[in-house]
């Protein structure tokens, strides 16, 4: 069963071109992409994005991310489609080799 997907991107300044380019390369294309610009905190921006979309599945992506593989969205939502009792999935964070200690700590904690 295919369910429509909405990608919601909270962004303070709207600099999302690299992320949008990586979304366009996905094997599974979202029905909706909602960029919420200039709203703080991040949770409020996400809620506004949800209110503006109608898709059955929601994918939240930070504006400084890029999807490094064309199958990310497909793999991310697969557990949600396969088992309706699954409510949330997530992706591992791939940090650059020169990531500072603080960034590594945050990635480990989140």
Q: What is the mean pLDDT of the chain?
A: 91
Query: Does residue 92 register a pLDDT over 80?
Result: no
Question: What is the arithmetic mean of pLDDT over 71-100?
Answer: 87
pLDDT attached to residue 110: 58
Residue 104: per-residue pLDDT: 82
pLDDT value, residue 25: 98
Q: Which residues face 60 on adjacent strands?
A: 8
Task: Measure the CA–CA gap between 69 and 94, rounded to whole angstroms.
Answer: 12
Task: Show Cβ contacts of residue 40 under 8 Å, excluding neighbours closer than 6 positions.
Answer: 12
Q: What's the predicted TM-score (pTM) here?
A: 0.82
Say if residues 55 and 6 touch (Cβ distance below 8 Å).
Answer: yes
Q: In this predicted model, which residue has the larger pLDDT, 78 or 92?
A: 78
- 3-class state of residue 66 by DSSP: coil
Report the pLDDT value the prediction gives residue 58, as an integer from 0 to 100.
96
CA distance 82 to 79: 5
């Amino acid at each position: 069963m295919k369910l429509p997907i909405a990608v919601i991107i909270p962004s303070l300044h709207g600099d999302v071109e690299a992320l949008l380019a990586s979304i366009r390369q996905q094997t599974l294309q979202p029905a909706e992409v909602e960029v919420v610009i200039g709203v703080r905190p991040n949770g409020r921006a996400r809620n506004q994005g949800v209110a503006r979309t109608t898709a059955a599945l929601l994918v939240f992506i930070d504006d400084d991310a890029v999807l490094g593989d064309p199958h990310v969205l497909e793999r991310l939502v697969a557990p949600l489609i396969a088992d309706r009792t699954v409510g949330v999935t997530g992706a591992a964070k791939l940090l650059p080799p020169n990531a500072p200690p603080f960034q590594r700590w945050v990635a480990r904690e989140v």
